[in-house]
Structure 1
Amino acid sequence: MIAFRLASVALAAVALTSCSLVEPPIHRGTMAGSAETEQYYGPVLTVAEDTPAESATALQQIADETLQVMTSNRFLENAIAMSGQYPELFINGKLGYRSAAWTASNFQDPVGDYRFNATPITLGEKRAFTGYDRLGWRMQVPQETLTLWASEDVVERSCAIRIIAHETAHTLVDMDGSIVMVDDGADAFNSRRTGTTGSYVMAGLAQCTWLQNQGRIGEKEVPACVAEFYKAPVFPWERGQFADNKCDEFPGDTPIGKVGP
């Protein structure tokens, strides 16, 4: 087993609170022309200080639960169990494809010199993204994230976990500060990827592992759950996407996906 520790980290410049796998921060330059960003051996998510208090509390709850799932042994064990279903996941143009187990293991123990950028979360209207813009390095998630989290239906709530998990996958960077797990841009397009996209599958795995933790699905139902919420690309110029319209299709104990032959 890979050992790890969970704790809170105060990032005075950008945050109210945080959740992380902590070691002392690494002060390493990231992308050219950007400000230095604190980096860690595990994901660090914070809530931007200008976020309204009620929204900040909810965002922190989602971030906390997302990181608890993605850095758990159960998450890694589920990834290993899905190796037949997802033998190759697209990571980026340089790395190409890696296994689900390799991809998931980075959230506990980053490969080589990979590290996680400490990342503040901000709210936007619709678009989710993680990266640099005029405000610096940040994660933006849509208001819908909070709406999903406020639902009484556990499956709808899990879709909020998925949003944060997908963006968390983009906070893993290499020595040059480039995002390791990509799903857009020339790097992704030029790969002519016809397989599945690592950041999306990891997000679906986080969502379904969280549902397993809630007792909504069993261990054997996790692969079917991931497949139900992920739409794999059909043509080389397409990319995998979430089946967002399915979040409210499984009320009560409605089975999620097809289990077995």
Structure 2
Amino acid sequence: MKKYGWGLLLIGIAGCSGPPALPNGAMALPEPRHARAEIAAPEDPKGVGLPIASGSIKKSGGPQEPNVTVGPGWSDRDRKDMDALVRAAITEMTSDAFRDNARQLPAKYSKIWLTGALGYDSGERVAAIVSPGEASMSYVEALVIPWRSGWASTRMERDGKLRIRLRRSLLDRWRSANPVVKACAINTMAHEISHTISRDPHRYLPAFTDTGDANADARNGVVASYFVGDLALCTALVRSGRIGPQDVAQCVPVWYEPGGLQSGRCYAFGPDDAVKWPKGRTDR
């Protein structure tokens, strides 16, 4: 496992194989395909993560919420919309509905991969860590900046600061009139925000990694960072009225496969389609 001098890189891997078709027959821009990145995970032989800058963790004396702001490099319009997307993702992740939905999922979600140090736990436990955040964990302050060479990543830099790098085209999803496409933007943002939770207040030891330090069983099961994004997406769809609370259990499995987020499916559902996979018509 390589340890890079510039910090810790956690990358969400796009799972689509080509440009997804839009309902009108047009082609959407695909997410960039990423080769699997080696992850300099905190579960390295020394077990020590990178230092967190002083003041990057709020001292609330109890559970914390995500601490994410939009940084430089955005146009005025993009900054406004990115801030709205950040707020929407945090709203879903910290909602009572998010925790309630996690409790109501089937047995498959009783075994979710968190990270090498924590191993497996339940979806209910993952939701408890995220929303509003356990006192034993710390949300590290993060800055959202544009990323031209990739889709989405969260990285601890040499200065002890976390940056969430996002491709500008994520905002095309956020601005969509299609509630499923819009919720897919929330999925990506919530996934990245989940990487801002540290097990240690002084060194960056993520509560959730992706699958770079996971075994094959973990990769083929449910991975916490993707689960957070998927559950936030489906919780947002309930909030918008696109699906009902009873539909969350069939919505969550739509989005993750061992390769990562199945982003092509964001464009697969017409207004009368149930949000489930394989697709089917809704009787609602």
Q: Could you say whether these structures have the same fold, taking a TM-score greater than 0.5 normalized by the shorter chain as the test?
A: yes
Aligned mates of 2:236, 2:138 — CA distance in 1:
24
How many residues align? The count is 223
2:267 aligned residue? 248
The C-alpha deviation readout for 1:114-158, integer Å capped at 9, x for no partner, is 110111111213331112136742111122210111211111111
Q: Is contact 1:149-1:160 (8 Å) kept?
A: yes
Matches for 1:32-71 after TM superposition, within 5 Å: 32=50, 35-40=53-58, 41-71=64-94
Q: Is contact 2:97-2:235 (8 Å) kept?
A: yes
2:210 alignment partner AA: D
Where structure 1 has 5 or more consecutive residues not aligned to the other structure, the ranges are 1-29, 234-239
After TM superposition, the score normalised by the length of structure 1 is 0.78
Aligned mates of 1:249, 1:49 — CA distance in 2:
34
Aligned partner of residue 70 in structure 2, secondary structure: strand
2:23 aligned residue? none
1:203 aligned residue? 229
2:209 aligned residue? 182
The sequence identity of aligned pairs, in percent, is 26
The C-alpha deviation readout for 1:93-120, integer Å capped at 9, x for no partner, is 1110010000011123433521101111
Q: Structure 1's 75 and 192: CA in aligned 2 closer, same or farther, altered over 3 A? A: closer
Q: CA RMSD in A?
A: 2.3
Q: Structure 1's 127 and 92: CA in aligned 2 closer, same or farther, altered over 3 A? A: same
Cα shift at 1:190: 8.5
After TM superposition, the score normalised by the length of structure 2 is 0.72
1:178 alignment partner AA: L
Cα shift at 1:87: 1.2
Higher strand residue share? 1
The C-alpha deviation readout for 1:211-261, integer Å capped at 9, x for no partner, is 000000011111211111121x3xxxxxx511111111112222111699x
Where structure 2 has 5 or more consecutive residues not aligned to the other structure, the ranges are 1-47, 59-63
Aligned mates of 2:135, 2:222 — CA distance in 1:
23
Higher relative contact order (CA 8 A, sep 6+): 2
Cα shift at 1:78: 0.2
Q: Structure 1's 148 and 92: CA in aligned 2 closer, same or farther, altered over 3 A? A: same
Q: Structure 1's 189 and 84: CA in aligned 2 closer, same or farther, altered over 3 A? A: closer
Give 2:255's match in structure 1, choosing from 229, 243, 254: 229
Aligned partner of residue 55 in structure 1, secondary structure: helix
2:3 aligned residue? none
